[in-house]
Amino acid sequence: MNDFIAYCGLDCETCEARIATINDDNELRTKVSKHWSELNNIEILPEMINCTGCKIEGVKTFFCETLCPIRQCALERKYETCADCSELEKCDKVALVLKNSDDALQNLKNLKK
């Protein structure tokens, strides 16, 4: 199992928040915070961009740690990823991620094999 594949199928290894954290790159944190603020229509400050990965030991963004319904659901059900769930194809929680990321869906499909 690849621990860098998040519960939703996104690849944490390629996530700019994780890259900024690992490299202590404040310029990248600023870029990510602006982008995520626009995407989510809320203010996300650069100092909030600290994450080692969804399933990796270490710091997580506040959203991922406490608010992400996908992560909370998978932890509750003791799933490695959403690929373990029989409701994957019709799940409202993960639908937006899968709609916007072909890679996430492909990662989950690969894990189902």
Interval 21-69: pLDDT, tens: 999 999 999 999 999 898 888 899 999 999 999 999 999 988 888 889 9
Whether the pLDDT of residue 96 is over 90: the answer is: no
Residue 91 pLDDT grade (very low, low, confident, very high; cuts 50, 70, 90) = very high
Whether the pLDDT of residue 1 is over 70: the answer is: no
Percentage of the chain exceeding pLDDT 90: 77
Question: Would you state the pLDDT for residue 82?
Answer: 96
DSSP, residue by residue, 13-48: GG-HHHHHHHHT-HHHHHHHHHHHHHHHTS---GGG
Question: Would you state the pLDDT for residue 47?
Answer: 95
Query: What pTM, to 2 d.p., does this model score?
Result: 0.86
The overall average pLDDT reported for the chain is 92
CA distance 95 to 61: 21
Question: Would you state the pLDDT for residue 67?
Answer: 84
Q: Report the run of H or E that residue 99 belongs to, with start and end.
A: helix 92-100
Whether the pLDDT of residue 72 is over 80: the answer is: yes
